[in-house]
């Protein structure tokens, strides 16, 4: 069931939100994804969004991390409205989010695959869900609005089975979803987030409670581990975001996961600069739409 999430401090928009911060982390991190270290050192100060030297997206535009999180949020709303959770339900909402707003930013092979998909059935028949990368984790944050952690885990694994049906792929998705749930329902202090995840979703590769300050690789658990480390280390969104982006590597995903969870914490100051909100894209599925989704999820 959906419980009543705890209140938390407001951000620069005056709202209590999750998806806006997910998009800000994604859009900010995108400009620094796998760029040379000197670029990160020069420009990672949150003063402005940056275009990536190789991606066609403009500064302030988000990528697949946010688009797929929108799909998850819309699936959550459908489940709350009485729809039965299923692989078909999640697939429908992910394809819908992509088809109505086709954009680059996805892994090239998956993007090319999506362009050829004709239906939910076609997707499920042709997809090879053997990845351990971050796709299932990056979109899992909105699942944390459900109160029961067992339900959160079930839904995170269900959506992960579409594309990342591997032990590490599923575990990373569960951990990302439980991060937002942990803060929305006040399950403990931010300093114990990693310990909580070690209890709920242990993996052989890593102890979530340990700090990971290495370059973020493509594996989903690495993005989640970086996000957990930032949240346990810093008490402001700005510091979390700068630190994660400064790790280099797959930092748009790590930042999106980090911002989704950190924005739900009452212990973390919601101090992102106002220009990161106003500078975020605001087309049909941009800033205003994200605020509307947060409101429907019960976060505002």
Q: Give the separation between CA 269 and CA 271, rounded to whole angstroms.
A: 6
Q: Give the separation between CA 36 and CA 146, rounded to whole angstroms.
A: 40
Q: Give yes or no for a contact between 153 and 79, defined as CB atoms under 8 angstroms apart.
A: no
Residue 287 tokens, joined: 């800033």
Q: Give yes or no for a contact between 31 and 52, defined as CB atoms under 8 angstroms apart.
A: yes
Q: Give the separation between CA 21 and CA 179, rounded to whole angstroms.
A: 14
Q: Give the separation between CA 257 and CA 182, rounded to whole angstroms.
A: 13
Residue 241 tokens, joined: 């975001």
Nearest Cα to Cα of residue 175 among 197, 148, 203, 192: 197
- Pick left, alpha or beta for residue 105 (phi over 0 → left; psi -120 to 50 → alpha; otherwise beta): left
Angle between helices 149-160 and 87-99 (to 10 degrees): 60
Burial 177-203 (b: 16+ CB within 10 A, else e): bbbbbbbbbeeeebeebbebbbebbeb
Nearest Cα to Cα of residue 5 among 261, 182, 188: 182
Which residues lie across from 33 on neighbouring strands? Answer: none
Q: Give the separation between CA 30 and CA 35, rounded to whole angstroms.
A: 10
Q: Give yes or no for a contact between 300 and 291, defined as CB atoms under 8 angstroms apart.
A: yes
φ, ψ of residue 46 to 5 degrees: the values are 65, 15
Write the class of the CATH domain 19-297. mainly alpha
φ, ψ of residue 236 to 5 degrees: the values are -140, 150
Q: 3-class DSSP state for residue 27? A: helix
Nearest Cα to Cα of residue 3 among 177, 197, 149: 149
**Which pairs count as long-range contacts for 93-100, CB under 8 Å and 24+ apart, including other chains?**
94/68, 94/139, 94/162, 95/120, 95/123, 96/71, 97/67, 97/68, 97/70, 97/71, 97/285, 98/67, 98/71, 100/284, 100/285
The tens-digit pLDDT sequence of the chain (300 residues) is 344 454 444 554 445 589 999 999 999 999 999 999 999 999 999 999 999 998 899 999 999 999 999 999 999 999 999 999 999 999 999 999 999 999 999 999 999 999 999 999 999 999 999 999 999 999 999 999 999 999 999 999 999 999 999 999 999 999 999 999 999 999 999 999 999 999 999 999 899 999 999 999 999 999 999 999 999 999 999 999 999 999 999 999 999 999 999 999 999 999 999 999 999 999 999 999 999 999 999 986
Distance, C-alpha 240 to centroid of its chain: 14
- Domain boundaries in the chain? 19-297
- Where in the chain does DSSP place strands (E)? none
Handedness of CA 203, 194, 25, 266 (dihedral sign): positive
Say whether pTM exceeds 0.75. Answer: yes
Q: 3-class DSSP state for residue 269? A: strand
């Amino acid at each position: 069931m959906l419980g009543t999430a705890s209140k938390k401090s407001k951000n620069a928009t005056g709202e209590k939100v999750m998806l806006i911060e997910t998009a800000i982390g994604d859009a900010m991190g995108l400009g620094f994804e796998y760029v040379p270290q000197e670029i990160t050192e020069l420009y990672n100060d949150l003063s402005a969004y940056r275009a990536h030297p190789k991606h066609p997206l403009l500064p302030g535009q988000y990528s697949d991390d946010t688009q797929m999180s929108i799909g998850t949020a819309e699936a959550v709303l459908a489940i709350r409205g009485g729809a039965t959770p299923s692989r078909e339900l999640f697939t429908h909402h992910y394809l819908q989010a992509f088809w109505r707003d086709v954009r680059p930013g996805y892994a090239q092979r998956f993007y090319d695959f999506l362009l050829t998909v004709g239906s939910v059935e076609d997707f499920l028949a042709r997809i090879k869900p053997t990845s351990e990368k971050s796709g299932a984790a990056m979109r899992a944050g909105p699942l944390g609005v459900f109160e029961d952690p067992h339900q959160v885990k079930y839904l995170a694994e269900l959506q992960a089975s579409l594309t990342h049906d591997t032990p590490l792929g599923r575990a990373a998705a569960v951990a990302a979803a439980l991060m937002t749930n942990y803060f929305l329902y006040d399950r403990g202090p931010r300093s114990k987030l990693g310990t909580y995840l070690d209890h709920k979703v242990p993996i052989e590769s890593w102890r979530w409670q340990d700090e990971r300050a290495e370059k973020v690789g493509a594996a989903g658990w690495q993005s989640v581990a970086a996000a957990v480390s930032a949240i346990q280390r810093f008490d402001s969104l700005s510091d979390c975001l700068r630190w994660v982006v400064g790790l280099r590597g797959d930092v748009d995903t790590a930042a999106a996961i980090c911002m989704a969870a950190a924005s739900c914490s009452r212990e973390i100051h919601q101090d992102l600069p106002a220009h990161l909100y106003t500078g975020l894209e605001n087309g049909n599925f941009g800033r205003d739409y994200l605020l509307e989704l947060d409101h429907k999820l019960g976060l505002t």
